[in-house]
Amino acid sequence: MPAGLYIHIPFCQKKCGYCNFYSVTSLALIREFITALYKEMELYRRTFDSVPFDTIYLGGGSPSVLSAKQIQEILNHVRNTFDFAADSEITIEINPGDIDLLYLQDLRGLGINRINIGVQSFNENILKFLVRRHSRQAALDAVAAAKRAGFDNIGIDLIYGIPGQAMTVWMETLNAVLSFMPEHLSCYQLTIEPDTPLGKKSAEGEFVLPDNDMQYDFFMKTSEILEAAGYVHYEVSNFAKDMDRASRHNQKYWDHTPYLGLGPAAHSFQDNQRWWNHQSLERYLENLKVGTPPVEDSETLTNEQLQLETLLLGLRTKKGINLERYKERFGRDLLKEKSNVIADLDKAGLIKIENGCLRPTPAGLAVADSLSLI
């Protein structure tokens, strides 16, 4: 399987209220960051040059704070350093607050063939609650602009399960997005991370998240509506118009395909090893200035850990776990070993065996964590 390349652009104009991705709001270091990024690529020319890549993912942070020129430069450098398949999937995440039509046309011109727009909501109040830096109108405009710029693989990110959000309010956002029929949709349930502005408000008791049953209703309703509209619910939070439009890059995370992550806080995986960079632009820059890998730590997965990850990641996907492959890889026949549990889970409507795969149903996806502990 070809590898994936992830580049973390650690800058944002302004921090969103719920965000625990690593990014800084001072844009002064962009130039220095790009130079460091080149050095980091150089470090991996050795170790990753035997693998061809077939995806590039510019994430963050907000890659859209970079100019089209800077992005072009980065892409050129990447292409000169590593091998890419001709039909590589090249994705960029953009924030509606950062862009205009011209910019998107430029990006399209650079060979970027997939665009992921961080819309989060089409509801003005919710955008305010989340402390997003764009309006409902800006979000609508961004989607329209992406189409006009010629993107035929558009992904939209949404968040639901906002405190106080009624199901009808979420339905309005879903309906709005369905009017565009984007190729890809990510619908995330809001998670409150402790070290964020919303996390602090939550700790102070300013709001409460919907309870477990409510969250389940949101989750199932979302799945039903989008599947009825023709989308495949292919991962817990991800929907694609058809499986060709599923994020090729993200799927690598879920089946232990090698990926290389560049930039602060980026994670990489190869040969049962996972390593990750410092979550600090400063340390990232310092390290690379003297030519050391900006790696904070690494782990080598034991066979048991690999098995657990295979289950926990596999059972988050509609495809599920290929039992024959699992047996080849780990020498264990799940179907035999867990026949009782699997039968019970099947009866409870959480799992099914299909085409030699152990597959979660939509209700199963909602309890994927527990399923992985069978």
Binding site for another protein (CB under 8 A): 6, 188-191, 212-213, 215-216, 219, 236-237, 250, 253-254, 259, 261, 265-269, 274, 276, 299, 305, 308-309, 312-313, 316, 340-341, 344-345, 348, 350, 363, 365-373
CB of 116 to ligand SF4, least distance (A): 11
Q: Are 372 and 311 in contact (CB under 8 A)?
A: yes
Site for ligand SF4 in 65-104 (CB under 6 A): 95
| Biggest alpha carbon–alpha carbon distance for the chain | 59
Contact of residue 61 among another protein, ligand SF4, none (CB under 5-8 Å per partner type): ligand SF4
Among positions 4, 61, 261, 360, the unique one binding ligand SF4 when judged by CB under 6 A: 61
Contact of residue 23 among another protein, ligand SF4, none (CB under 5-8 Å per partner type): ligand SF4
CA distance 33 to 320: 39
Q: Among residues 95 and 322, whose Cβ is nearest to ligand SF4?
A: 95
CB of 296 to another protein, least distance (A): 11
CA distance 276 to 272: 14
The single-letter code of the amino acid at 29 is L
Among positions 5, 16, 285, 342, the unique one binding ligand SF4 when judged by CB under 6 A: 16
Build a one-symbol-per-residue string for 221-240: x at contacts with ligand SF4 by CB under 6 A, - elsewhere. --------------------
Among positions 2, 21, 163, 253, the unique one binding ligand SF4 when judged by CB under 6 A: 21
Residue 156 within binding range of ligand SF4, rule CB under 6 A: no
CB of 44 to another protein, least distance (A): 15
Q: Among residues 201 and 267, whose Cβ is nearest to another protein?
A: 267
Q: Among residues 62 and 251, whose Cβ is nearest to ligand SF4?
A: 62
Q: Among residues 61 and 360, whose Cβ is nearest to ligand SF4?
A: 61
Q: Omega before 61 cis (within 30°)?
A: yes
Distance set, CA 51 to CA 1, 270, 316 (Å):
9, 10, 27
Q: Among residues 61 and 210, whose Cβ is nearest to ligand SF4?
A: 61
Contact of residue 60 among ligand SF4, another protein, none (CB under 5-8 Å per partner type): ligand SF4
Q: Which stretch binds ligand SF4 (CB under 6 A): 57-65, 67-75, 225-233, 278-286?
A: 57-65
SS3 of the chain? CCEEEEEEECECCCCCCCCCCCCECCHHHHHHHHHHHHHHHHHHHHHHCCCCEEEEEEEECCHHHCCHHHHHHHHHHHHHHCCEEEEEEEEEEECCCCCCHHHHHHHHHCCCCEEEEEEECCCHHHHHHCCCCCCHHHHHHHHHHHHHCCCCCEEEEEEECCCCCCHHHHHHHHHHHHCCCCCEEEEEECCCCCCCHHHHHHHCCCCCCCCHHHHHHHHHHHHHHHHHCCCEEEECCEEECCHHHCCHHHHHHHCCCCEEEECCCCEEEECCEEEEECCCHHHHHHHHHCCCCCEEEEEECCHHHHHHHHHHHHCCECCCEEHHHHHHHHCCCHHHHCHHHHHHHHHCCCEEEECCEEEECHHHHCCHHHHCCC
Contact of residue 170 among another protein, ligand SF4, none (CB under 5-8 Å per partner type): none
Q: Among residues 165 and 196, whose Cβ is nearest to ligand SF4?
A: 196
Q: Among residues 133 and 329, whose Cβ is nearest to ligand SF4?
A: 133
CB of 269 to another protein, least distance (A): 8
Residue 155 within binding range of ligand SF4, rule CB under 6 A: no
Contact of residue 138 among ligand SF4, another protein, none (CB under 5-8 Å per partner type): none
Q: List interacting residues with ligand SF4 (CB under 6 A).
A: 12, 15-16, 19, 21, 23, 60-62, 95, 118
